Amino acid sequence: MPSRITCEVRDWAPVTVVRLYGGLDLGTMRVVRTVLDRCLSTQPDALVVDLAGVAVRDRLALSVFATTARRAADWPAVPMVLCAPPPEAAKWLAESTVARVLPVRRDCAEATHEARRAVAPRLRARLEPVAEACRLARELVGDACARWNVPGAVGPASIVLSELVGNVVRHAHTPMQVTLTLRRPYLHVAVQDGSHAPARAGRPDLRAEGGRGLLLVRELAERWGCVPAGAGKAVWATVAAN
């Protein structure tokens, strides 16, 4: 008989808690991944996954949590904590790569406490797809880096975020949410827009502000990527925070 799993999502600001109930195997892990990805797209400050109600039927299915944690570390740059795994699952987690990627705690209270302590400083702004958006994005970077005392990140982060915003202005033509998050050793920048068209590095438009293209983002950022988010996508990048 195939396994079934249900996911209960609760927003206990600033932490989102996902409680799983049922059997976890290679089939139901897809459901779990979809729910966790949907939670990440709302950009919570932290994410806790409670396994108290789960029967793990295939230890390989536990890899869904490592995959999600790696994604969460890049975008939306949030801490993630597992808690309350059944005894056998706890043993498997300790023996797997999952334990090296994210912490595992004995109960939800302990995990929520740790997640709250790990919440990273964050600034957000809503921008319209107009020419001055690039300038406003650079000002936001300057404000964030001064507030968080990371002056060395101002230059590269300003250029990277300006390019990401400029890409929305030129191509997506939708309002956007700009987010800066400090999770040392990186400053994470992200732009979420209302277009599903993927961001690709192409020929730069040197006539436009922020028009040097994603090729420049690729050169200056430690990492960058594009993921589906909400009604559109999020393009994120990380630069060294020093």
Q: pTM for the whole thing?
A: 0.87
Query: What pLDDT is stored for residue 2 in this prediction?
Result: 65
Where in the chain is CATH 3.30.565.10?
Answer: 122-240
Query: Which residue reads 């790569």 in tokens?
Result: 97
pLDDT at 239 over 90: yes
CA angle 162, 163, 166 (to 5 degrees): 85
Average pLDDT of span 130-159: 96
Higher pLDDT, 96 or 125: 125
Q: Which of 76-90, 120-134, 166-180, 207-221 has the lowest mean pLDDT?
A: 207-221
Where in the chain is CATH 3.30.750.24?
Answer: 5-117
Per-residue pLDDT reduced to its tens digit, 188-209: 999 999 999 887 655 555 444 4
* Helix spans in the chain (H): 29-41, 63-74, 87-95, 98-101, 108-117, 133-148, 154-167, 214-220
For helices 29-41 and 63-74, angle between their N-to-C axes, nearest 10 degrees: 20
pLDDT at 220 over 60: yes
Query: What pLDDT is stored for residue 209 in this prediction?
Result: 44
Fold held by 5-117: Transcription Regulator spoIIAA (3.30.750)
Mean of pLDDT over the chain? 91
Fold held by 122-240: Heat Shock Protein 90 (3.30.565)
pLDDT at 161 over 60: yes
Closest C-alpha among 95, 172, 160, 93 to residue 130: 172
